[in-house]
Amino acid sequence: MKDEEKIRTLAHELRHAWQYKNKEYKFKIPNTNFQKFMGNVIYWVSEKELDAHKYAKYYCRDNCKKDMLKILGNIYTIYFVRIMYFVFIVPLMLLTLAYVIVHIVQYLKAA
């Protein structure tokens, strides 16, 4: 990992520390498997993650010199991947979950 990527990662994580300290977003630990599942789904497009990426992008733009276009390109790639994840994968997961629930209900009615 290059120094610029380390700086971007550190800026991103420090933004989370700032968010937590200033109570910008709710941070809670999931206690059920469903909450963990939904947390993993929502994580990719959550406001706190997008805010941290945005902060890191601007921090690096203003403070890093070397390979900046590559770093910024990586950040935009992350946004694109997250949007595609939310648009395609989440609906597939929800359809699968609905399919399983329907079959469980049918099984329970038949029993």
Residue spans of the domains in the chain: they are: 3-110
- The pLDDT assigned to 7 comes to 83
Residue 60 exposure: Cα atoms within 13 Å on the Cβ side: 28
Alpha-carbon span 55 to 11, nearest angstrom: 7
pTM: 0.52
- The pLDDT assigned to 59 comes to 85
Which residues of the chain have a pLDDT value below 70?
1, 27-30, 35, 38-41, 44-45, 65-76, 78
- The pLDDT assigned to 21 comes to 87
